[in-house]
């Protein structure tokens, strides 16, 4: 699970890269959960929340840039 402070410190390109990696990880987790089950199905929830956190920060920055 990523902390919000760590996300705020990252640049927007880094966040975009992390977002794509998390989406790939989420796909793999869902696929393995559907085929043979996961040891920790709560990992899917954690990844989804990390994706939401990153998207929120990116949107806040986008809106802040639009106000300038």
Which letter, b or e, does each residue of 31-53 get, where b requires 16 or more Cβ atoms within 10 Å of its Cβ?
eeeeeeeeeeeeebeebeebbeb
Q: Is 37 left (phi over 0), alpha (psi -120 to 50) or beta?
A: left
CATH code of the domain occupying 4-67: 1.10.287.310
Q: Where are the domains of the chain?
A: 4-67
Tens of pLDDT, residue by residue, the chain (68 residues): 778 889 889 999 999 999 999 999 999 999 999 998 888 889 999 999 999 999 999 999 999 998 87
| Residues 52 and 4 sit within 8 Å (Cβ to Cβ) | no
Unique residue bearing structure tokens 């989420």 = 26
Whether pTM exceeds 0.85: yes
């Amino acid at each position: 699970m990523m902390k919000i402070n760590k996300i705020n410190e990252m640049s927007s390109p880094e966040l975009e890269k992390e977002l794509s990696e998390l989406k790939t990880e989420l796909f793999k987790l869902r696929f393995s959960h559907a085929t043979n089950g996961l040891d920790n199905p709560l990992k899917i929830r954690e990844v989804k929340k990390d994706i939401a956190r990153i998207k929120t920060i990116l949107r806040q920055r986008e809106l802040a840039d639009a106000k300038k």
